[in-house]
Amino acid sequence: MSLPRPVTDALDTALDKVVIAGYSSIGPALRRRWWPADPQAGALEGRHVLVTGASRGLGLAAATDLARLGASVHLLGRDQARLDEAAAGIRISVPNAQVLPEACDVSDLDDVRAYAARTLEAVPRLHALIHNAGVMPETRTESAQGIELTLATHVVGPLLLTELLRPALAAAEGSRVLIMSSGGMYSAPLGGAWPRDLQYREGTYRGIRAYARTKRLQVLLAEQLATRLDDDGIVVHSLHPGWAATEGVVESMPAFNRALRPILRDAQSGADTLVWLTAAPEAASSTGLFWSDRKPRPTTYLPWTTEDPRLRRQVWDAVAALAGIDHAPA
């Protein structure tokens, strides 16, 4: 029996508000009864897709499913041996998979420039650029260029990589940039003092807070890039995967992992919306939205978390300056 749309919409929103139900494996178990159809078999045949953070966890799960849909998948991570191992695993799961592992540290802007130059030569048309790489360091750490590590990995590096690969994205019809944020971004609304201290130099550093702030910045990044890349027909979305059992969660949030392990999503389920946004034609008919479980979601829930446009602009200017790109509006 299929339920009428107003009923499924109300159920879906209620699941989102009861965070533990919506974010855990319960969310997709219920929502798959009404969410949009799976991408068609072979939907990505002949298309190139680049996944950062593809050596394990959600990135590896997404890369596997994208290869299954026929894409040539470029696997990016910091370590060539780990990427080669991930590629071998994908080839076992998906016979004839086209996977191209190549190391790059997205937090290192010099490495990003060199990697982008090689990619532009090899890949004239890029269907999707997926920014999935993520970190949650325990102590304040800096990238090769002296940028706080979560900011460099989640925001500055991805912005520069997007900018440099723009010609290849613009050359592909229906191309998209997808940014894997986190539901944790709801705990760091863009307000108060922290947006003026993007590098987290003030106060006691807490990795989980740095993570949440930069995951909020990824949502802003998607919105800004959506405007900036619109003329080239490139859509940009951010998303959150729910709570999924990955090595990253075990290492960075062991207590959370122990408490919720029985109801965490598996990596494939955590990667579902990422894969769907990459392959589904529906994703190209809007831009700048924040998704979860195949549906756009609000980026703030409380009225006092509405963002000040001047602050958004200041933050965007600061991030663009760190990436060394022209930060004029689109």
Q: Can you read off the two tokens belonging to residue 280?
A: 């589904």
How far apart, in whole angstroms, are the C-alpha atoms of residue 218 and residue 190?
11
Is-catalytic flag, 301? Answer: no
For 308, the 3-state DSSP assignment is coil
Tell me how far, at minimum, the Cβ of 5 lies from ligand NAP, in Å: 28
Catalytic residue among 186, 205, 211, 301: 211
Report the candidate in 87, 115, 118 with the shortest Cα–Cα distance to residue 103. 115
Nearer to ligand NAP, 38 or 84 (CB): 84
| Orientation of helix 157-170 relative to helix 309-323, angle to 10° | 80
Contact partners, residue 303, CB within 8 Å, separation at least 6: none
Tell me how far, at minimum, the Cβ of 274 lies from ligand NAP, in Å: 9
Tell me how far, at minimum, the Cβ of 292 lies from ligand NAP, in Å: 10
Nearer to ligand NAP, 27 or 134 (CB): 134
Q: Can you read off the two tokens belonging to residue 42?
A: 């072979």
Tell me how far, at minimum, the Cβ of 310 lies from ligand NAP, in Å: 28
Nearer to ligand NAP, 155 or 234 (CB): 155
Q: Which residues bind ligand NAP (CB under 6 A)?
A: 52-59, 76-79, 82, 105-107, 132-135, 153, 180, 182, 240-241, 243-244, 246-249, 270
Phi-psi region of 317 (alpha: psi -120 to 50; beta: other; left: phi over 0): alpha
For 244, the 3-state DSSP assignment is strand
Report the candidate in 166, 271, 261, 252 with the shortest Cα–Cα distance to residue 210. 252
Tell me how far, at minimum, the Cβ of 129 lies from ligand NAP, in Å: 13
Name residue 204's amino acid. T
Nearer to ligand NAP, 264 or 315 (CB): 264
- State CA 153 to chain mean position distance: 11
Nearer to ligand NAP, 232 or 251 (CB): 251
Report the catalytic residues. Answer: 211
